[in-house]
Amino acid sequence: MTDGEGSTGLISTAEWHKRSVRWGIGGLQALLLFALVVGGLGPILWLAKGAITPTIDTITHPMGLFQHGTAWSNLKEAWSTVHVGRYFWNTVVIAFGSWASQLLVATTGGFALSVLQPRYAKVINALLLTTLFVPAVVLLVPLYIEIVHPPLIHHSLIDSYWAVWLPAGASAFNVVLVKRFFDNLPREIFEAARIDGAGPFRLFRSIVLPMSKPILGVVSIFAVLASWKDFLWPLLVLTNPNEQPLSVRLPSIQAQTSLGVFLAAMFIACLVPIAGFLIFQRSFLRGGGLGGALKG
Amino acid sequence: MSALDQLREPALTKRGLSDVTVVPRRTPATWVRGGGLTTLLFLLPLLFVFGAFSWYPIVRTVIMSLQHTNLVQPATWVGFKNFEQVWHDPLFPIAVKNTAYFAGLALLFGYPVPLIAAVLMSEVRKRRGIYSALAYLPVVIPPVVAVLLWKVFYDASSAGAFNTVLGWVHLGPYPWLQSQQWAMPSLVLESTWANAGATVIIYLAALTSVQTELYEAASVDGAGIVRKVWHITLPQLRGVLLVTMILQIIGTAQVFLEPYLFTSGGPANATLTVLLLIFNYAFGNSLGGDYGAATALSLMLAGFLAVFSLVYLRATRSWSTR
């Protein structure tokens, strides 16, 4: 990723010194930057502007900038009157539970398959890889019916957060990612710990987990983001509006609120993912490549 | 547990005496002593969650596609009737055609753009982080917010955001989502905006592994930048390019959120996709879902994608590993 004067990439240093190249490529790059600012940042800035602009101004002059002042009340009205505050909290609770479930399954499962390696690990690995290739839609209907009529407990899980938390844990992608990381930890340390008398639990808690902070961070970030983005599944299993997350509520509140308040609600829904991205930018941009490499 | 072990000890030695060279046979006791129970304890969350929410539902889909179920009466076996019913549904060819149209347009819009952007970005000398951060920003926006925001942009009146901007250069106003002709391209445009950043990051990562000696060699031979991209960069990215293409096709074949939130499949079924049809079969009717038809269609889609991927991998194998 390092790039300085001396590096020889696609365009050599000698070529950079040519005026035509510098202007041509430089111009294209400037154009790209402009396109990225307008395309990537523009819509979000527009949303931020719309969130604090009186509805009437946004409707009549969508590209105008505060012709008749600001309306910070949009944000307040969205948060309390439209109950975005409550939906925000619901989203946090759902994301936290989904995160915990994914992390528990991926770390314990990855530890068993990578470090303890029972004889049947191959079978489980094969089954996990199979699920990676099954499109999610195949699971939709039977999963829904399972939540409505769960076997053994005979009590519908509809409107219970467990209906979102538990299926979230079944992410084969996470398990494979964590298992691969565990596979690359030095075996000598495990052996040394075993000789010193550490059992599997001690090995897991005191050695494997502390050494795996980087991958656990990546999995956590993507788990929270995925949960924040999720729409269809919570829409199906959480029918009580008071329990629904933001993504499910936003389409429904659109009809009942003025545009300014609605834009404010959407802006609030974006805040956590954007803040997370800005803080953990490196993990996102590296993890994106990581995911692609794994899929390939 | 140690007391139990001591009880079992004589039995083990006895067998050991009769057949000294052979390793002791695996019995439940040796399994427990070897830590088998602890291993199983560690696997328990995985086995429970995947068993209940992944493996079992996959099997159940196959069963349900051969049954008539309405959750009230006991299920009855109907053979392949559900598949026949879906096949003869007049909406089925429309949904398939629309999905193929979406996937095709998405490939046309969305496939070259990230590649060109990534190649240009990899040659940025200063502050490349800003480029990739800006490109990735739309990916972190919750998809529901992205769609609903673009729905505001797509306002068909002349005072809509997009129509206002196009009005500055005396274009439009365009009907966007309200016209049968423009609705699907509008959906694709938003979808490309929302997803292209992730592909850019994948390409940027792949570009770092391109062998730079080849660039030098080509420069010495007098190759220009365009020829270097064509003869060195692209061939070296071949594997990644083939994978992102099949992943994009698999992803776009399952498009749901855009047609559901933008248009509900309209106008006049112009944006009804396969996934929306599955959703409508199962959950669109408040009186009770046609779960048989929904699972049948989802299996047809999964089967098609599996066959398509196999054919694709086979057809491109010689090209991707050469």
Tell me the per-residue pLDDT of B179-202, one tens digit each, with 9 for 90 and over.
999 999 999 999 999 999 999 999
pLDDT above 90 covers a percentage of chain B that reads 55
Provide the shortest C-alpha distance from residue B84 to chain A (in Å): 18
pLDDT for A266 beyond 70: yes
Band of residue A291 on the pLDDT scale cut at 50, 70, 90: very low
Domain carrying residue B24: 1-34
In a domain, B60, yes or no: no
Q: Which of B77, B32, B239, B117 is nearest to A28 (CA)?
A: B117
Q: φ and ψ at A93, to 5 degrees?
A: -65, -45
At residue B312 the predicted structure's pLDDT band, cuts being 50, 70 and 90, is very high
Percent of chain A topping pLDDT 90: 64
pLDDT in tens, B265-293: 889 999 999 999 999 999 987 667 889 99
d(CA B45, CA B199): 33
Assess whether pLDDT exceeds 70 at residue A5: no
> Which A residues, 223 through 252, put their C-beta within 8 Å of a C-beta on chain B?
225, 228-229, 231-232, 236, 246-248, 250-251
In a shared domain, residues B191 and B290: yes
Range in A12-21, A32-41, A86-95 the model is least confident about: A12-21
A276 burial (CB, 10 Å; 0-12 / 13-18 / 19+) is middle
Domain CATH number, residue B119: 1.10.3720.10
Q: Is B118 helix (H, G, I), strand (E, B) or coil?
A: helix
pLDDT score recorded for residue B24? 63
DSSP state of B25: P
The pair of structure tokens assigned to A72 is 């910070």
pLDDT of residue B7: 44
Distance CA A125, CA A112 (A): 11
Examine residue B52 and state whether it is found in any structural domain, yes or no: no
Contact B204 A270 (CB under 8 A): no
The answer to whether the Cβ–Cβ distance between A137 and B212 falls below 8 Å is no
B113 & B12 share domain:
no
What is the nearest CA distance from A290 to chain B, expressed in angstroms? 8
Give the count of domains, chain B.
2
Domain membership flag for residue B195: yes
Is B72 a residue whose pLDDT tops 50? yes
Per-residue model confidence (pLDDT) at position A109: 96
Structure tokens at B145: 């917010």
Q: Is residue B297 part of a domain?
A: yes
B67, part of any domain? no
Name which of A90-94, A120-124, A215-219, B223-227 the model is least confident about.
B223-227
CA B320 to chain centre: 21
What is the domain partition of chain A in residue ranges? 13-71, 82-256
Q: Which amino acid is at B135?
A: A
Q: What is the largest CA-CA distance in chain A?
A: 75
Residues A288, B198 contacting (CB under 8 angstroms): yes
Q: What b-and-e string marks burial along B77-99, b requiring 16 or more CB atoms within 10 Å of the CB?
A: ebeebbbebbeeeebbebbbebb
Contact call for B38 and A116, based on CB within 8 A? yes
- Of B71, B145, B250, nearest to A250 by CB-CB distance is B145
B131 and B17 in a common domain: no
pLDDT mean over A107-122: 93
pLDDT digits (tens, 9 = 90+) for B85-113: 999 999 999 999 999 999 999 999 888 99
CA A225 to chain centre: 2
Contact A8, B216 (CB under 8 A): yes
CATH 1.10.3720.10 fits A82-256, yes or no: yes
Give how far Cα A18 sits from Cα of A11, A23, A25, B286, Å: 11, 9, 11, 68
Chain A residues closer than 8 Å to B148 by CB: 250-251, 254, 266
The CA distance from A168 to A136, in Å, is 12
What values do phi and psi take at B288, rounded to 5? 140, 145
**Distances, alpha carbon A40 to alpha carbons A43, A290, B132, B194, in Å:** 7, 22, 10, 9
> Using one digit for the tens of pLDDT, what is the confidence trace for A151-192?
888 889 999 999 999 999 999 999 999 999 999 999 999 999
φ, ψ at B76 (rounded to 5°): -120, 145
**pLDDT tens readout for residues A197-206:** 888 999 999 9
State yes or no: pLDDT of A4 exceeds 90.
no
- Residue B240 CA to residue A265 CA, distance in Å, equals 39
pLDDT digits (tens, 9 = 90+) for A225-258: 999 999 999 999 999 999 999 999 999 999 889 9
Nearest by CB to residue A62, choosing from B160, B294, B305, is B160
Joined together, the tokens standing for residue B39 give: 């291993």
Please judge whether B165 and A63 are an interchain contact, meaning their C-beta atoms are less than 8 angstroms apart.
Answer: yes
The CA–CA distances, whole Å, from A247 to A21, A98, A207, A219, B214 equal 47, 15, 39, 21, 48
Q: What is the pLDDT of residue B321?
A: 58
Place of tokens 């990225």: A36
How far CA B319 is from CA of B96, B115, B305, in Å, comes to 29, 19, 21
Gap between the Cα atoms of B114 and B192, Å rounded? 10
Instruction: Note the pLDDT tens digit of each residue in B133-179.
Output: 999 999 999 999 999 999 999 988 888 889 989 999 988 788 899 99
* Segment B7-51, tens digit of pLDDT: 444 444 444 444 445 566 778 888 777 778 899 999 999 999 999
Report, as an integer, the average pLDDT of B64-79. 85
CA distance A291 to A136: 17
* Contact list, B40 vs chain A (CB under 8 Å): 118
Residues of chain A positioned with their CB less than 8 A from the CB of B291: 141, 145
Q: Which residue has the higher pLDDT, A82 or B18?
A: A82
How high is the pLDDT of residue B316?
87
**B202 occurs within a structural domain:** yes
Q: Please indicate whether, in this complex, the C-beta atoms of A44 and B141 are within 8 angstroms of each other.
A: yes
Q: What is the DSSP letter of A102?
A: H
Of all residues in chain B, what percent carry a pLDDT higher than 70? 90
Confidence band of B66 (pLDDT split at 50, 70, 90): very high
Rounded Cα–Cα distance for residues A110 and A4 (Å): 40
Task: Find the CB nearest B302 among A135, A281, A295.
Answer: A135
| A271 touching B (Cβ < 8 Å) | no
- Residue B77 pairs in a beta bridge with B67
Substitution target in A38, A132, A141, A263 with the highest count of B β-carbons within 10 Å is A141
Whether B301 maps to a domain, the answer reads: yes
Which DSSP symbol is given to B266?
Answer: -
The answer to whether position B77 is within a domain reads no
Where residue A282 falls among pLDDT bands split at 50, 70, 90?
A: confident
